[in-house]
Structure 1
Amino acid sequence: MNYEAHFDQSAKLRENHWNSIGKLHSDVITHLINPAFMGGPEWPSTRQAFVIVETPAGTILASDGLSDPYNDFDENPENQSYNGIGCEFYLECNEQLTSFDEVKSSWQFSVVYQAAQLAAGNPNIASIIEEYGYVSTELYHCTVPEAFLNEHGRAGVLLGLSSRKVPSRLQLSLETIRLVNVTLLTLEELDYITTNGSEGRLEVAKRLEALETSGKSFLERKSVV
């Protein structure tokens, strides 16, 4: 198959996957002007998009394009084994976010958007998560309440938690990709990880995965540390 065939097949497989979990909106959230043209990180096929999935228990917002085949697929043999960077990122929340305006102005979208852009600038992120299981990081420009921001104005997230609804793997046209959960951390949890390093990260992850709400991000969640 050529680039177009792999692109179409991967898009259809992602669409079928999300429709098996909830109701996938037919339209995607994207940019009028691609940020890559203004110095931002470039996504594999250049296309940068996000999807909205409605479920009875809330909403899932997910990147859609990080696992596209590379746009030089037909000319570059080195990229002919990969679905982009090998992952897509998603955030699961309790709220029913139905309109584009509501989603785009939500703190949930700001978090998953910044996580996806961070991943686009770090194409080895899938292998890093594979090696360590969980990755904690801090994101700029998240419209979360101030109580979730550290002294540098960044929000902490944990990447790679298990979800009760979303499998961690998805077979696409070229490879099996990771579906990476993005969980918002409380400031106490972020401080605990910062202080205790990898052991702190694993302890926070273990405690979060023990919750019935594992994989969900919501502002009312009590800190696990």
Structure 2
Amino acid sequence: MGAFGWLRGLFGTKAQAVGAPEPYRIATIAERSAEARGRFWAALGPASDRILSSAPAGSLWPGGHEAYRLIHRGNAILLATDGLSDPFDEGASTNGFEIELFVEGPGEGAPTQVAGDGWMLEVLRRVAAIVAEERGILRPLERHGPIPLELTNVSTSAAIAARLPAHFLTSDDVLGVMIGGPDPDFGTRIEDMPLSPVRVVPVVLLTAAELGEIRAGDSDTRDGVLARLQAMGVGHCSDLQRESIV
């Protein structure tokens, strides 16, 4: 958070000696971006200040590093990327990829289960890596709507393989997710970012049968699956205990 310095006044009728004022520091665009994201998530529930994971410099994320934040939302746990909307540099005209991703699911006990090696973090990491490699996905989302994505070789991830029930995984070792739908039950735009508005996008787990139907269909098929998820009360949440809607 930027430091705005202290306003030092003179009291009484006599001049008083004062020390040198503290230096005035203007917050960087990256710091202002982080503050705006923090305000957005804090409005949904208590948020952890702790960065859950950080990659070395050289990451494809706009700011050169990746990070995640944990938000407790009632009885649910929400895990969000924290930096896909960082500016590329101080001379940037937009807030990075103008997007942040999140996964929300039922609370699973101690936050460390999610923060350390939980399936939520692993899924979010994989999706965020693809988004970064593609240099963002906001424009395709705006043009075509929610995007189904296949995460391959998921059995190699102990966090995913150990937690996800068999009906979420396909016979060819794929986990399907939907980026951008169904819509969550809260606003999805961070309007007060310093350079440009940022869209907050859900990542939703699909069962193998749901992914199979989408694979075999078209955009109408996808929309039908999303509508059924919403109608069944699943919505944007990823509950490992739910049954397939297909």
What is the TM-score when the length of structure 2 is the normalising length?
0.79
User: What residue in structure 1 maps to residue 44 of structure 2?
Assistant: 21
Aligned to 1:193, which of 203, 209, 214? 214
- Check if 1:62 corresponds to 2:80: yes
After TM superposition, give the deviation of residue 102 of structure 1 in Å.
4.1
Aligned to 1:109, which of 99, 121, 133? 121
User: What residue in structure 2 maps to residue 94 of structure 1?
Assistant: 106
Q: Which sits farther off after the overlay, 138-147 or 119-128? A: 138-147
Are 1:138 and 1:157, in contact at CA under 8 Å, matched by a contact in 2? Answer: yes
Q: Provide closer, same or farther for how the CA distance between residues 107 and 8 of structure 1 changes in structure 2, counting only shifts above 3 A.
A: same
Gaps of 5+ in 2: 1-25
Q: Identity percentage over the alignment?
A: 28
Are 2:114 and 2:121, in contact at CA under 8 Å, matched by a contact in 1? Answer: no
Q: Structure 2: how far apart are the matches of 1:188 and 1:13?
A: 39
Are 1:50 and 1:63, in contact at CA under 8 Å, matched by a contact in 2? Answer: yes
Q: Which has the higher contact order (CA 8 A, sep 6+)?
A: 1
Q: Provide closer, same or farther for how the CA distance between residues 96 and 220 of structure 1 changes in structure 2, counting only shifts above 3 A.
A: closer
Q: Structure 2: how far apart are the matches of 1:81 and 1:137?
A: 29
User: What residue in structure 1 maps to residue 93 of structure 2?
Assistant: 81
Gaps of 5+ in 1: 75-79
Give the ranges of 4+ consecutive aligned residues of structure 1 lying more than 6 Å apart after TM superposition: none
Number of residue pairs the alignment of both structures matches: 211
Are 2:77 and 2:106, in contact at CA under 8 Å, matched by a contact in 1? Answer: yes
User: What residue in structure 1 maps to residue 167 of structure 2?
Assistant: 147
Q: When you count helix as a share of all residues, which structure comes out higher?
A: 1
User: What residue in structure 1 maps to residue 62 of structure 2?
Assistant: 44
What is the TM-score when the length of structure 1 is the normalising length?
0.86
- Check if 1:208 corresponds to 2:226: no
Structure index of larger Rg? 2
Q: Provide closer, same or farther for how the CA distance between residues 62 and 5 of structure 1 changes in structure 2, counting only shifts above 3 A.
A: same
